Amino acid sequence: MTTFAVIGAGIIGAAVARELTRRFPDDSVTVLDKEGQAAAHQTGHNSGVVHAGLYYQPGSLKARLCRRGTTLLRDYARERGLPYEECGKLVVALREDEEERLRAIHGRAVTNGVPGVQLVGPDGIREIEPHAVGRLALHSPQTAITDYAAVTRALLDDVRAAGGAVRLGAEVTGLANLEDRCVVTTPEGSRCFDIVIACAGLQSDRIAALAGGSPYPRIVPFFGQYSRLAAEHRTVLNGLVYPVPDPAYPFLGVHLTKRVDGEMLVGPNAFLSLGRENYTGHRVGLRDTLDVATTPGFWRFAGSNVRAAVRELGAVASWTRFLAGAVRYVPSLAGAVSTPVPRGIRAQAMDRDGTLVDDFVIEGIGRTTLVRNAPSPGATSSLAIAEHIVSDVTRRHRLATAEA
């Protein structure tokens, strides 16, 4: 019998564990997570958007696994009775110089096989979203919303139902990656596993270091603030409205997001977080901050993004400026009342030279497989990432699956 350990009870870890139980029903699968509940970090602190695959470089892991993941996630949500709504999305150009970039995104989306995408002018924008304005927009009708924490809990229920174990409150403090096994240490002691798959998100580089992996890519955390609009604005949009991404700053920008609970969110911005798990912004994670400060590549990145950082800092310091970004796209929100909600924190991987890693990074070292970078659309792609990882593990370790 093969024994598997999955480190991390976020949506990717849960999806990997479920995929293992499906392909190896007679083997042992154990999920380990340091928190007392599943989906405690990135999975439980996002807007719930199911991305259709608009932005990603054709042929990349992101492009391929996002498209496959969207289909798998939609089917799973419907099978399990989980929230899933194809509300659609507009990516809106307000300025002439944004139109060329938007047309390039449209070209990528078509190449990636995103269904139904089309460019629409001002009249088309108003037809889809009567309160939105813009010069040109890309409409993605199958972009959806869901509850990723609920999906994660369902996946872990599947793991348990298949005989797997989910051990919460079990922080991995040691990982000896030996020739024929792995020794995983938690506060309860040490245990041997044949294969370990680490889906540790914000702690992924530290888990990789325990397994003997390279110090790079290193995680640099960026927080994103969200604000919930007052009840009278919940129906201002039918779906989602996004800006055209700024190529000089690799985040999507402040947007308006409908949620499956009926709320309407504004956000997120993107700024360096003083702590990997600092969701309130009220306490500094000293170790995390020192890690960033002693990363030479971060200072190269910061030096080349001063203008964008100053703009983002203004939105961090002033909720009025933060909301003004949304008003540019939906003028009727001028003067709207909103309430801040807990931040999200993105586990952004950075290379030694300060380059932000764009594509998913999955690394195999001995008996371990390490998810080194899986930011957005990681949650969207989770079930496809799980397929990809388990297929790779099966091939590398010459395992016999139930289908074989």
**What are the residue ranges spanned by the domains of the chain?**
3-44+149-217+359-396, 89-141, 218-356
Pick the CATH number of 3-44+149-217+359-396 from 2.60.40.10, 3.50.30.10, 3.60.15.10, 3.50.50.60: 3.50.50.60
Low-confidence spans in the chain with pLDDT less than 50: 317, 404
Q: CA angle at residue 48 from 42 to 53, to 5 degrees?
A: 95
Tokens of 320: 């009025």
Name the β-bridge partners of 196.
5, 368
What is the per-residue burial (b if ≥16 Cβ within 10 Å, else e) of 202-229? bbbbbbbebbebeebbbbbbbbbbbbbb
Instruction: Give the integer Cα–Cα distance in Å for 50 and 148.
Output: 9
Contact criterion met (CB below 8 Å) for 259 and 145: yes
Contact criterion met (CB below 8 Å) for 330 and 241: yes
Contact criterion met (CB below 8 Å) for 355 and 297: yes
**Helix H or strand E encompassing 108:** helix 96-111
Q: Which amino acid is at 404?
A: A
Instruction: Give the integer Cα–Cα distance in Å for 131 and 128.
Output: 9
Judge if 3-44+149-217+359-396 and 218-356 fold alike in CATH terms. Answer: no
- SS3 state of residue 140: strand
Instruction: Give the integer Cα–Cα distance in Å for 92 and 94.
Output: 6
Residue among 351, 345, 279, 370 nearest 8 (CA): 370
Sheet of 49-50: strands edge to edge?
49-50, 144-146, 84-85
Contact criterion met (CB below 8 Å) for 3 and 193: yes
Instruction: Give the integer Cα–Cα distance in Å for 193 and 254.
Output: 43
Instruction: Give the integer Cα–Cα distance in Å for 355 and 361.
Output: 14
Dihedral angle, C-alpha 60, 64, 66, 70, nearest 10 °: 170
Q: What is the pLDDT, as a whole number, of residue 403?
A: 60
Name the β-bridge partners of 266.
227, 256
Q: What is the pLDDT, as a whole number, of residue 296?
A: 87
CATH topology classification for 218-356: D-Amino Acid Oxidase; Chain A, domain 2 (3.30.9)
| Placement of tokens 């300060």 in the chain | 354
DSSP state of 95: S
pTM to 2 decimals? Answer: 0.95
Q: What is the pLDDT, as a whole number, of residue 249?
A: 63
Contact criterion met (CB below 8 Å) for 219 and 288: no
